Amino acid sequence: MGMYSGEGATSNYTGTYGVARDVTERKVAEETINFQAYHDLLTKLPNRALLRDRLSMAINQAKRDDEKLAVMFLDLDRFKNINDSLGHMIGDELLQQVSIRLKECIRAGDTLARFGGDEFTLLLPKLKNGRRDASKLAEKITNALKQPFYVEGHELYVSTSIGIALYPNDGMQIDSLIKHADVAMYHVKGQGKNGYQFYSNEMNVPYIEKLSLDTGIHRALDNNEFNLVYQPQINLRTGEIVGVEALLRWEHPEHGSISPSEFIPFAEESGLIVDIGYWVIKNACAELSRWRLAGLPEIRISINISARQLMEDGIVSNIIEIMKDYDLPGRCIELEITENAIMSDMDSIIRKLRELSEHDITIAIDDFGTGYSSLSYLHKLPIQTLKIDRTFLKESRINKGDNTIINTIVAMAKGLGLNVIAEGVESQAQLEYLREIECSEAQGFLFGKPLPPDVISQLLIQEPSATPGSQSSSSKSTHWHH
Ligand code: C2E
Ligand code: MG
Ligand code: MG
């Protein structure tokens, strides 16, 4: 033994203690490598490979025991916004916090994996009522994400789109289950995000189209496939057209006209909405300036701004520059944004809205009542207009006397000194009701569909002249007096 022990031992020979340490180190190293091979380093969640492993086991077990299981595909909505505008450090920290909150929603035997980027996958084995259990969890997750996240002084709101595929109905193999959950997730995105859907067979076609949609949107700007139509907004007291909302139309060379609600969600995900948005602002302003130069009565133009656009650093200065290029006064420009857009990063967005207000540009909250609908923050915002979502004005509701929401919104707007526009007015009965509760403005098919610019200028020519300062009296007849 003497040779092996003591000072004389060469470095070739390590004592037993050393061997043990060596083994431990190797073990730790192996474990680390193992962990790294099967986990996502940022969130420490299982990765794609481990999820596939577990899914394969779960499928076998489900087959054997005649059980159900669900695969959920989660994609955070507009996460790219946060990464692009606040930086990757904050994005990463947010992803970690989100993964912790998601983990709190699941059971012990479930697997939550990060698929990369802002995508998570959930495996729910051994479900008693496949559909019901899965929707319960999806709702739980949606609710859990409603509370804000706090990252380095930013209050951030996150929502997610969830697609669900069930074994055995929607697939019996790993790949078909994952793919179908992904397809269902894209459907949620396409329908305005923030929610969940189960896969169904009819969903496959739009999925293929989705891929060509992205490249299509890219081309559309270069090829001039976009145009704007304008929908009149009527002052309910005077009956005059006081504004128009610019609405985007896409004439696809093969698919024909594609509705903005179908492609804007995808343009937001890919970030293309920023370029499209500037195109819209420029063209709407150009149109308004043509109407003004032609001596038509002064009206306001309302432009929809997506959450993604609002996060852009240069958005405010760019809008102001466009406004000046076309020699427009700020009071003629209203920007329509949704509640959710404000909530995504409230402080920085309020700052931007203030700056716009300093240039007399007004801000309207679009689809009011459908978002986070926390009324408490309203007085903090530099806004001038509420646009009541058309679901609250449904005829069936009005006829049934189910008017609480719309009454409340109008009363509240008055209390706060805000202008209020009712959207989607289609019938005389709705109009009468709105007049009764003294809603200030309305917009809808009853007054006019979204129209090409030359039709709008014709309408404006027929308007009784609304020279600034001279309010039209009730004796003046206008189109919209019924
Ligand atoms: P929105 O801003 O709430 O626009 C109102 C939508 O309601 C328009 O749909 C309009 O055509 C429709 N509408 C108006 N009156 C009536 C009515 O009486 N009855 C019914 N049933 N519908 C009516 P559209 O043009 O399909 O636009 C859908 C959404 O797409 C818009 O909702 C807006 O969120 C978005 N969008 C449109 N243009 C743009 C744009 O330039 N930029 C951005 N970011 N979003 C846009
Ligand atoms: Mg709008
Ligand atoms: Mg709306």
Cα distances (Å, whole numbers) of residue 419 to 334, 337, 396, 474: 12, 15, 25, 20
pLDDT band (50, 70, 90) for residue 375: low
* Atom 21 of ligand 1, residue of closest alpha carbon: 424
Please give the distance, rounded to the nearest whole angstrom, from the Cα atom of residue 293 to the centre of ligand 1. Answer: 27
Domain boundaries of the chain, sorted by first residue: 2-38, 48-199, 211-479
Helix (H) or strand (E) holding 435: helix 428-436
- The confidence score (pLDDT) of residue 17 equals 55
Mean pLDDT of 337-352: 85
- The confidence score (pLDDT) of residue 480 equals 54
* Atom 42 of ligand 1, residue of closest alpha carbon: 304
- The confidence score (pLDDT) of residue 65 equals 94
pLDDT band (50, 70, 90) for residue 363: very high
Please give the distance, rounded to the nearest whole angstrom, from the Cα atom of residue 52 to the centre of ligand 3. Answer: 42
CB 119 within 8 A of CB 47: no
- The confidence score (pLDDT) of residue 474 equals 37
- Max avg pLDDT among 84-93, 97-106, 406-415: 97-106
Per-residue pLDDT for 266 more than 70? Answer: yes
Regarding predicted confidence, which is higher, 403 or 372?
403
Mean pLDDT of 266-270: 82
CATH class of 48-199: alpha beta
Atom of ligand 1 nearest to the CA of 387: 3
* Atom 12 of ligand 1, residue of closest alpha carbon: 424
- The confidence score (pLDDT) of residue 481 equals 47
DSSP string of 247-311?
EEEEEETTTEEE-HHHHHHHHHHHSTHHHHHHHHHHHHHHHHHHHHHTTPPP-EEEEE--HHHHH
- The confidence score (pLDDT) of residue 5 equals 37
Atom of ligand 1 nearest to the CA of 389: 3
Atom of ligand 1 nearest to the CA of 306: 44
pLDDT band (50, 70, 90) for residue 9: very low
* Atom 29 of ligand 1, residue of closest alpha carbon: 261
Please give the distance, rounded to the nearest whole angstrom, from the Cα atom of residue 386 to the centre of ligand 3. Answer: 10
* Atom 13 of ligand 1, residue of closest alpha carbon: 424
Strand partners, 334: 302, 362
Counting ligand 1 atoms within 8 A of each CB, the residue from 226, 227, 304, 308 with the most, and so the one to mutate, is 304
Please give the distance, rounded to the nearest whole angstrom, from the Cα atom of residue 149 to the centre of ligand 2. Answer: 28
- The confidence score (pLDDT) of residue 359 equals 97
* Atom 27 of ligand 1, residue of closest alpha carbon: 260
* Atom 45 of ligand 1, residue of closest alpha carbon: 304
Global pTM reads: 0.74
Mean pLDDT of 445-466: 88
Q: Pocket residues for ligand 1 (CB within 6 Å)? A: 231, 247-248, 259-261, 264, 277, 280, 304, 306, 336, 366-367, 423-426, 444-445, 450
Ligand nearest to the CA of 424: 1
Least confident range from 25-39, 295-309, 339-353, 404-418: namely 25-39
Q: Write down the mean pLDDT value for the chain.
A: 86
Distance CA 54, CA 174 (A): 10
Per-residue pLDDT for 18 more than 90? Answer: no
Sheet holding 119-127, edge to edge: 111-116, 119-127, 68-76, 160-167, 195-198
Distance CA 82, CA 95 (A): 11
Please give the distance, rounded to the nearest whole angstrom, from the Cα atom of residue 3 to the centre of ligand 2. Answer: 87
- The confidence score (pLDDT) of residue 259 equals 85
Residues 6+ apart with CB under 8 A from 70: 122, 123, 124, 127, 130, 133, 134, 164, 165, 166, 167
Helix residue spans in 68-203 (DSSP H): 79-86, 88-105, 130-144, 174-190
Please give the distance, rounded to the nearest whole angstrom, from the Cα atom of residue 164 to the centre of ligand 2. Answer: 31
Per-residue pLDDT for 19 more than 90? Answer: no
Burial class (CB in 10 A: 0-12, 13-18, 19+), 180: buried
Please give the distance, rounded to the nearest whole angstrom, from the Cα atom of residue 336 to the centre of ligand 2. Answer: 6
Residues 46-82 have pLDDT tens digits of: 999 999 999 999 999 999 999 999 999 999 988 887 8
Residues 6+ apart with CB under 8 A from 139: 196
* Atom 32 of ligand 1, residue of closest alpha carbon: 261
Mean pLDDT of 17-39: 75
Cα distances (Å, whole numbers) of residue 184 to 129, 142, 198, 206: 19, 16, 6, 10
Superfamily for domain range 211-479:
EAL domain (3.20.20.450)
Regarding predicted confidence, which is higher, 237 or 11?
237
- The confidence score (pLDDT) of residue 4 equals 38
Ligand nearest to the CA of 388: 3
Please give the distance, rounded to the nearest whole angstrom, from the Cα atom of residue 366 to the centre of ligand 2. Answer: 5
Ligand nearest to the CA of 247: 1
Please give the distance, rounded to the nearest whole angstrom, from the Cα atom of residue 7 to the centre of ligand 1. Answer: 85
Mean pLDDT of 439-466: 90
Per-residue pLDDT for 268 more than 90? Answer: no
